[in-house]
Structure 1
Amino acid sequence: MKEVFDFLAANRVFYLATTSGECAHVRPMGFVMECDGKLAFCTSNQKDMFKQLMINPNLEICCVDANYNTLRICGRAVFCTTEETQRKALEVMPSLAKLYAVGDGKFEIFHLDNAQAVLQSMSGEKQRLSC
């Protein structure tokens, strides 16, 4: 998991895809943290992403580094929002406090279950990474 986390953290912006009916929806993300040995992310329960993940928790994340190596992560979102996970997220990224507060009723944390990651080089070489 460390290699996957480090890749996402080093490249700052990655893209998370969800579905709504038959349509895919992709949005940029910039927050990731480790939570109980799993990759964890945040959102607002007022956003479409949250609503889509509640209906279909399967998602995919894609991130590209400066050398065009591509990391893809597939997994299942499991919401794990507690005051403790919210506090940890605010410690990891203090700028989130402009949007959220512990116990504000909208700040949601989720981790990935059954996550599978593949790192692929420009030449097509694939490497499976543990999540």
Structure 2
Amino acid sequence: MEEVLKFLKDNPTYYLATMDGSQPRVRPFGTIALFEGRLYFQTGHVKNVYEQLIANPQIEICASSHQGGWLRITATAVRDDRREARAAVLADYPSLQDMYAPDDGNCEVFYLKDATAVFSSFTAEPRTITF
């Protein structure tokens, strides 16, 4: 899991896919944090992505590196409503602290459960990690 975290931190914009009914929705994300042995991301309660995650927590993340490789993660996004989890994720992203606070009623965090991460490139066989 640390290799997945490092890849996402080294390539800070990834794309998160959710389902909006029968329509896939993909958007750029940038938060990823390790808390209590799990990978977390953050969003706002008022955003459509939050409603999509609640309705169908099955997600996919895709990120690419400047070196030519890419990472795809399939997982279940699990909402964590604890203040400690929200504070831990925001602590990794000071730039978000002007928009979000752990107790603002808008900050939401999710962790990845039953995740399968596949590292791929044009020059090597895919490599899979589960966590």
Asked whether the two chains share a fold, i.e. TM above 0.5, the reply is yes
Structure 2: distance between partners of 1:126 and 1:37: 25
Q: Which residue of 1 aligns with 2:59?
A: 59
Aligned length: 131
Structure 2: distance between partners of 1:36 and 1:88: 10
Deviating more after overlay: 104-113 vs 119-128: 119-128
SS of 2:100's equivalent in the other structure is coil
Q: Which residue of 1 aligns with 2:106?
A: 106
Tell me if 1:94 matches 2:94.
yes
Q: Which residue of 2 aligns with 1:79?
A: 79
AA matched with 2:43: T
8 Å CA contact 2:40–2:89 kept in 1: the answer is no
Please state how far the C-alpha of 1:39 moved relative to its aligned partner.
0.9
8 Å CA contact 1:4–1:130 kept in 2: the answer is no
SS of 2:123's equivalent in the other structure is coil
CA RMSD of aligned residues (A): 1.1
Structure 1: distance between partners of 2:81 and 2:109: 5
Q: Which residue of 2 aligns with 1:12?
A: 12
Structure 1 residue ranges (4+ consecutive) displaced by more than 2 angstroms after TM superposition: none
Structure 2: distance between partners of 1:78 and 1:100: 19
8 Å CA contact 1:78–1:112 kept in 2: the answer is yes
Please state how far the C-alpha of 1:81 moved relative to its aligned partner.
2.5
Structure 2: distance between partners of 1:86 and 1:14: 20
> Unaligned regions of 5+ residues in structure 1, if any?
none
8 Å CA contact 2:61–2:74 kept in 1: the answer is yes
Q: Which residue of 1 aligns with 2:42?
A: 42
Structure 2: distance between partners of 1:130 and 1:22: 27
Please state how far the C-alpha of 1:14 moved relative to its aligned partner.
0.4
SS of 1:85's equivalent in the other structure is helix
> Unaligned regions of 5+ residues in structure 2, if any?
none
Structure 2: distance between partners of 1:38 and 1:57: 16
Structure 2: distance between partners of 1:53 and 1:79: 9
SS of 1:116's equivalent in the other structure is strand
Please state how far the C-alpha of 1:124 moved relative to its aligned partner.
5.6
Structure 1: distance between partners of 2:18 and 2:98: 25
Structure 1: distance between partners of 2:10 and 2:130: 17
Identity among equivalent pairs (%)? 37
